[in-house]
Structures are given as structure tokens and as C-alpha cells.
Amino acid sequence: MSRISESGTPIEGVYGPKDVQNLDPVRDLGEPGAFPFTRGVYPTMYVTRPWTMRQYAGFSTAVESNRRYHQLIDAGTTGLSVAFDLPTQMGFDSDAPQARGEVGKVGVAIDSLEDMRLLLQGIPLGKVSTSMTINAPAALLLVLYQLVAEEQGVSSTEISGTIQNDILKEYIARGTYIYPPQPSLRLVADTFAYCRAEIPRWNTISISGYHMAEAGASPVQEIAFTLANACEYVRTAISSGLAVDEFAPRLSFFFVARTTLLEEVAKFRAARRIWAHVMRDEFGARDPKSQMLRFHTQTAGVQLTAQQPEVNLTRVTLQALAAVLGGTQSLHTNSYDEAIGLPSQKAATLAVRTQQVLANETDLTATVDPLAGSYAIESLTDDVEAGARELMAKVADLGGAVAAIERGFQKAEIERSAYRIAREIDSGERKVVGVNAYTSSDDEPYEPLRVDPAIEHEQAARLAELRDRRDNAEVARRLTEVKQVAQGDGNLLYPLREALRSMATVGEVCDALREVWGVYEPADVY
């Protein structure tokens, strides 16, 4: 009797050599750190150094978020991951009408260079790697980070981290886009070129399947649409005049880890193998670093439940184990109370401790790729790869990721998957502990962490004070330069940097680009 995987393929009761008979161990497995990187992107993986332990944090004001970052560093976090509020993600200042009721709610509000200074106060930017989950205004937040590092006396060549900067998945699954696809892709390519010249250790993009998975994408859909988007970014960069091996080593990826441990491990292995072949065979990349799929993982927030929230500790542990067995480069473990509200300090610390137990109290770091050669894992890897390649071919037949987005293809496919999952939960076919199975009527009430609504007024007052004392003529001149370059073909990050240095706000710079490029209006046409 077989079960059906998340991606819709059978999981057999028993696997053996016959199930992987088409696998060429030299071509498809190889050695860790060698093409096609099925077994991991580094020869020693965690044997010499564990994965980077990140915690995604950011709420309320920059001061409050800074306090949480220091607590996480003290708890043993080795990399920061910044969450921004919705107004910042959409390029609106905290005093904009569109920001009303959302300031500081799902992340930290960053309106200006002054906010970024407060956010990073006392954090050694030359030593800490920072990931920033920001997309449409990613270039702005990157140069703000660079400016603060310079003020700390840290050279731009020393800072390291990642900006998500993955605008295509916003059109597919998440919705925090601003501009139409083509100018948005130009901004991505400009960021690639800028970082190559100015911030060489920075990962210029984190191409994300995570948000598509949270919207309901299956594992096959997650990696297929992510890699199709990645191909679009590579083509855009090459078209802008960059050679593939000049920018591809700084590409990175971001995936989810679900509780379906075996398929998740197979997904990560398949993604590495597909990407290695695409980069070498389609784009002609010769640098092995260009062929490596390096990725960050976050445990599956969508699988956390508000009912019996402590059970989420078990879910997160299983998800983290899948990420580690799958060969992730960095990992964020969700807090058990995130289905209810912002994570409490206790829950955030426990999430870090989960990773520390895996790294220090198990034998996961004793050997590289411990599941290699498993009949089940290798067969599932083949299944996921075949399904993903088939879906990528459909995107290509539609003209590539942007053309498929404009037809609504990816969105429609994900919505069908999400509907199937919802029906299975409603019918009880898919069991969720505490929700439709093993429920309890005596769950204790849980009081979540809440953001004080007064911070919206505080941010607005700080913005008014900033505008009163800055050189507004200089700001206007710098914003005009931004618009002029946006109308031409120069690299936009240089005028963006000078505008932000002059104390132009994030919203003002984004508005300048809106004047030139307009805003994206989605068409539901597929």
C-alpha cells in the first residue's frame, strides 16, 4: 500500500535497487562539493562547521528590534534575519495614508537612514551576517545598511549578508510588489552590478520558493517555479552586459522545510542537481560556484497551529531536521507561538535552542550527507526532479517566468494545490494534530505579544522632525537625479544611495520611481 506525496507521486511501502535503476551514481550523485552537488555544495558540509543559525526578527520600532537582535546574539544566533513591516515592504513611509494600522505590525518600520542606524546600533557589522527579507525596495535597504556600516568604520568589502530581492515571486504568491516586472528586473540587475563593484561579499538575491510554499505550492511546484524565476534573473543580468560567472556565485535561494521529512530532503537534493545542470548546460557557467545552489531554509510557518501551540515545537524540530539532512547553508526555526502572534522572547530562544541541540547533541554533523544512497531518498529525488523539470518546461513554453506570470499560470497552479490541501484537512483525510485530530477542549489560553499602536504616531512624529531639520533642497535635487537615471540606463543604486544619504525617506525615493515607472496592476487571465 503506497501513500501519496505532497507533490502527488506515490511513496512506496518498500524501496530497493529496482526503484533507482536509472540512477547513474557518477553523474547524478558524485561526491559532496562536486558537480552536480546532489550531496551538498561543500566537501565537508557540517563536519567542520555547522550551518548558520539565523532567527527572523523585527517588530515595532528600530529600537525595540535592536534590543531583540542583541538578545538573539546573546542566545547564540550566528546570523541576523530582518523582518520589515508592510509599509516598508511596499515603499511607503510610516505617515503615509496607505500605512495606517500596519506600522510595526509584521516587522520593523524603517523610514530613513536614522531608523537603520537605530536598528543596527551596537551590532558589529563586519562580523555578523545579516539577511533582509525585502523585495521591491531591496536596493534601498541594502544601501542604507551599507551607509550605516561606513559610519561604523566597516568597509563595504567586509560586510556580508543577503537581500531577498526576489520580485518575481511577489507577483506569483506574496503581493508586495510596487513596479511592473521589467523595471523591477532592471533594479535587480543593477543591484547585481553594484554589489560586484561595491559589496563583493553580499548575496545579491535570495530566490524564494518559501512564500510560494506558504501560499500552497507543493514541493515540486516550489522548486520548479523558483528555478524558473532564477533563470529569468540570470537572463536579465546577462542581457544587461554581465558575464554569468561575474554574478552567479552570489545568487542564493530560500526554501521551506515541511514536516514531510523524506520528500523535503529529496526536494533539496533535486533542486541542487537541476540548478547545476541548468547553469552549466544552458547558461555556460564554468565557475563551480556559479553552478552551486546555496540556500537558506525556514521551517514551515503555514504548518504551525494556534491550537495546542506547544506541539509546534515538535513540528519545527522535524522541519529543521529535514533542512539539515537536505544540506541547507543557513536555517531559521520558527517559534512555537507564531500562529498566534509575534513570537515571545521565550519562544524565540527555544527556537534557537532547537538548532543548537541538532548541531551539538546529535551526530548529524559527524558525516556528510548521511542519507545518500537510501533507496527511498534517491527514488524520491528522481521523482521530484522529473516533476519539477516538467513544470519548468511548461513555464518555458509560455515564454519564461515573466510571460507566465502575466498569464497567471503559476498563481493558478499554486491555488489549485492550496485548495486540494484545504479540502483534505476539512475532510479529515489529512490529519493535523490539535486541529482535526487529537483535539483537546481544555487548551490553556495564550496571550500573544502585541505591538503598541502608539508607535505609528511616534514614527510619524520622527518623520516630521526629520523633514524639518534636513536640507530639503538637497533632498529634492537628489530625488531628481534618481528620476533622471530611472528614465535612462545608468545604475540606479548610486543615485539611490546619495538620496538616502541626504536623508530622503524610503517612501520619497520609492515615490520618485513610481513617477517614472508607474505601479503594477495584476491581470487574472489564466
**Which pLDDT score is estimated for 524?**
63
Q: pLDDT higher for 445 or 113?
A: 113
Query: Given a cut of 80, is residue 451 above it in pLDDT?
Result: no
Which pLDDT tens digit goes with each residue over 254-313?
Answer: 999 999 999 999 999 999 999 999 999 999 999 999 999 999 999 999 999 999 999 999
Q: Any idea what the Cα angle at residue 198 is, between residues 193 and 202, rounded to 5°?
A: 80
Q: Around Cβ 425, how many Cβ atoms within 10 Å? A: 14
> d(Cα 334, Cα 55) in Å, to the nearest integer?
8
Residue from 124, 131, 53 nearest 349 by CA: 53
Contacts of 512 (CB under 8 A, 6+ apart): 479, 482, 483, 486, 499
Domain ranges within the chain, ordered by starting residue: 46-394+404-427
**Rg over CA atoms, the chain:** 23
**Which pLDDT score is estimated for 21?**
59
Task: Identify the CATH number of the domain defined by range 46-394+404-427.
Answer: 3.20.20.240
Query: Given a cut of 50, is residue 26 above it in pLDDT?
Result: no
**Which pLDDT score is estimated for 68?**
87
Query: Given a cut of 60, is residue 27 above it in pLDDT?
Result: no
Q: pLDDT higher for 105 or 55?
A: 105
DSSP 3-state of 108: strand
Q: Around Cβ 71, how many Cβ atoms within 10 Å? A: 16
Average pLDDT of 207-235? 97
Average pLDDT of 168-191? 96
430 by Cβ neighbours in 10 Å (0-12 / 13-18 / 19+) ranks as middle
Kindly indicate the confidence band of residue 110, based on its pLDDT and cuts at 50, 70 and 90: very high
**Which pLDDT score is estimated for 90?**
97
> d(Cα 183, Cα 61) in Å, to the nearest integer?
31
Residue 36 dihedral angles phi and psi, to the nearest 5°: -95, 25
Contacts of 474 (CB under 8 A, 6+ apart): 502
Query: Given a cut of 80, is residue 355 above it in pLDDT?
Result: yes
Per the prediction, the chain carries an average pLDDT of 93
> d(Cα 79, Cα 430) in Å, to the nearest integer?
35
Could you tell me the pTM of the whole model?
0.91
Q: Around Cβ 464, how many Cβ atoms within 10 Å? A: 10
Beta pairing partners, 203: 162
